[in-house]
Structures are given as C-alpha cells and as structure tokens.
Amino acid sequence: MKNIEVKVLGAESMGVRSMCTVVSTPDINLMIDPGCALGPRGDYQVPHPLEFKALHQVTERILRESKKCTHMMISHYHHDHFKPRLIDEAFIHTSPGLVKELYHGKEILLKSAKAHVGKNQKNRCKHFKQSVSRVAAGITDADGLRFTFGKTIVDFSWPVFHGEKGTRLGYVIMTRVKHGDECFVHAPDVQGPVVDSTMKFFTDVPPDVLFIGGPPFYLRKSLHQFPFGRGIENAATLVTLATRVIYDHHCCRDEGNFHAFIDNIKQHAIAHGEKASEVSDAATFMNQKPAFLESMRDELYRKHPVSDNFKQWMSLEKRKRCRIAPPLQAHGESDY
C-alpha cells in the first residue's frame, strides 16, 4: 500500500503475546493495542529468560514508536493488549512510570465498558481510565464509531466475540483504517474468526492487509467444543478477500499446528476454485525471523539451562516476582 504503512511491533511469532501495531497514513499515526505480555504454559509456568528478553525488547519498541503516535486504540482489556498501571515483572513488564511515559499526551480510543463486557474487564477499564486520565490528551469510547482524520477514515466495529459465541472471554472491537482505495484491518482475538457475524466487517470492505488472531490450537485438548473447523473455513474465505493476510496471536502459541493451519486454509481455498492471498505470521510480514518462543518453552528450558540466579527468582512467590525484574544477564544468558 502506498498511503498506509503497517508496522507490527509485537506478536507470538516475535516471542511475546501481543498484537501491537502502528498504522501510519499521511494524516495519522495510530498505535493499536499498545501492550505485550507473557503467560504460564504447561509444565513450565514461569517463562524462560529468552521470553523475558523478548518482552523487554518489544516493550521498549512500543515505547519508542509511541512517541511518533498521536492516537492509541485499545481493543479490550486483556493484559497482552495494553499496559496497565501495575508493578508486574512476572508476566507484563509494566509500572506506573512506564504507563505515564506510554500514554502521555495521547488521544486514546478504546472499547467501552458500558456494554458487552465482563466484570473483570469492566473493572480493568475503570482502573485504566482513572490511571491515565491526567496524562492522556483524551479518552473516548470507540465501539461502532467512525473517525475522520484528513483523508483517512478509521472505523471501529461493534463488539464481537473473543472467540466462539458466548465465550466467557468477552468481547473485542476491530479497527479498519482506510485512505482512498487502500484498507487495513486489525482483528484481535477473534480466533478464526469462528463466529460468522464477525465476517461481515471483512466482507463489507475487503482489506488489502488483514492482521487477525487465529484459533487457539495450544488449547485444543481442553477446548472440546471449540469450532476449529469453522475457523478454518472462515479463514479460507478471508485469504481470498485480502491481498495479504497476517495470522498470529493465539494460533502461534503452537508452532506446528500453526503451519498446518496455514497450509490447510490455502488448500481449502484452492479446492473451492479460489486463489489464496499471501499468508504469513507477523514476524515474516515484518521481514524478521520468526521466534515462536512460547511454543518452544519446553525446548528452551532443556537446551538453555537457566542460571542459579534465575532459579532463585523463579522460586519466589508470585507477589515478590512481580516486584523484582528477572535476572536475565547472569550465567551467560546474554549470549542467547
């Protein structure tokens, strides 16, 4: 695209949980979902030092790029999509000072907590608004609204399910950025999508570039009722609508199933006589080498034993780990 630049700052293929993206047009620099985090996983509830290094690097990247942005958008209130005003080094790498720096002087557009929101996310939204009200230039609920900046039109969807219909994970809002005939869509955590009504946002104005959250393959053994097949069918439709599709987030927490998913949707499209667009993870889109670190956590702990200092930090109760940054440079880990 000539007038819309898309820069993905964080994603699972970059080693962290995130979908942080900067969208730039001649009229606006918009940062979507300015957050990143890690999470517990399997036998290794504490992420590996390599994952923490990626978390710190992506956080610094978000802070650096935020200085070029006038507007920010928050699609929902899971901690991998925004930086909350907490002290948390165990999974989020955030602090009151970091939050002040990140949101200072920004116009913040976000998902409303008035409707289509669970109790937990409603409380997080309330706390977030209170914590940034004195540093942000403005805070606006954006659900279903359109904003115009010069020749750039930014549309936000009405709330859609965070995955399957009726999920306890709540709702998110999607973002469409248009400039002339060019269009970019950011669709976080729709997990396929697996709800057909979510598809309308894509079919109404087919995007040139689509950044979308795929199905949670890493939870396949526990999500017995999740409609993975429907997600593949809808994904196969999407790769015929957009020129470039970026699939990442939940689907990239299982690298093997992610690659099988991409092959599957391409074959599905071809079998129905359609030409599939270019499809990749976010790192590949950004011309970076993918690093599916969460998916590799077991392997990381086996191949890269952690230092005694890190083991001591791991043994702390979570409250203490939240307040103390992990020792990443000890015992040769700087060589990773």
SS (H, E, C) the chain: CCCCEEEECCCHHHCCECCCEEEECCCCEEEECCCCECCCECCECCCCHHHHHHHHHHHHHHHHHHCCCCEEEECCCCCCCCCCCCCECCCCCECHHHHHHHHCCCEEEECCCCCCCCHHHHHHHHHHHHHHCCCCCEEEECCCCEEEECCEEEEECCCEECCCCCCCCCEECCEEEEECCEEEEEECCCCCCCCHHHHHHHHHCCCCEEEEECCCHHHCCCCCCCCHHHHHHHHHHHHHHCCEEEEEHHHHHCHHHHHHHHHHHHHHHHHCCCCCCEEECHHHHCCCCCCCCCCCHHHHHHHCCCCHHHHHHHCCCHHHHHHCCCCCCHHHHHHC
Tell me the two tokens of residue 124: 């997080």
pLDDT tier at 320, thresholds 50, 70, 90: very high
pLDDT in the model for residue 31: 98
Give the Å distances, CA to CA, from 252 to 15, 217, 228, 280. 10, 8, 15, 11
| pLDDT over 70 percentage in the chain | 98
Over residues 21-32, mean pLDDT:
98
Residues linked to residue 321 through DSSP beta bridges, in sequence order: none
Mind listing the domains of the chain with CATH numbers? 5-304 (3.60.15)
pLDDT tier at 186, thresholds 50, 70, 90: very high
| Cα torsion angle, 201, 65, 243, 193, sign | negative
Over residues 9-23, mean pLDDT:
98
Judging by DSSP bridges, how do beta strands 21-24 and 5-8 pair with one another?
Answer: antiparallel
| pLDDT over 90 percentage in the chain | 85
Amino acid at 208: D
Q: What is the mean pLDDT of the chain?
A: 94
The pLDDT tens digits of the residues spanning 105-130 come to 999 999 999 999 989 999 999 999 99
pLDDT in the model for residue 225: 85
The pLDDT tens digits of the residues spanning 158-176 come to 999 998 988 888 999 999 9
pLDDT tier at 330, thresholds 50, 70, 90: very low
Backbone angles phi, psi at 193, to 5 degrees: -80, 160
Q: Does the pLDDT at position 334 exceed 70?
A: no
Rounded Cα gap, residues 115 and 134, in angstroms: 25
Rounded Cα gap, residues 80 and 58, in angstroms: 12
The pLDDT tens digits of the residues spanning 206-229 come to 999 999 999 999 998 888 889 999
Before 193, cis peptide (omega within 30)? yes
Rounded Cα gap, residues 70 and 106, in angstroms: 5
Over residues 264-289, mean pLDDT:
88
- Are the CB atoms for 4 and 177 separated by under 8 Å? yes
Higher pLDDT, 165 or 183: 183
Q: Does the pLDDT at position 336 exceed 90?
A: no
| pTM metric for this prediction | 0.95
Q: Does the pLDDT at position 312 exceed 90?
A: yes
- Are the CB atoms for 208 and 1 separated by under 8 Å? yes
pLDDT in the model for residue 250: 97
Tell me the two tokens of residue 272: 């129905």
Rounded Cα gap, residues 44 and 58, in angstroms: 22
pLDDT tier at 329, thresholds 50, 70, 90: low
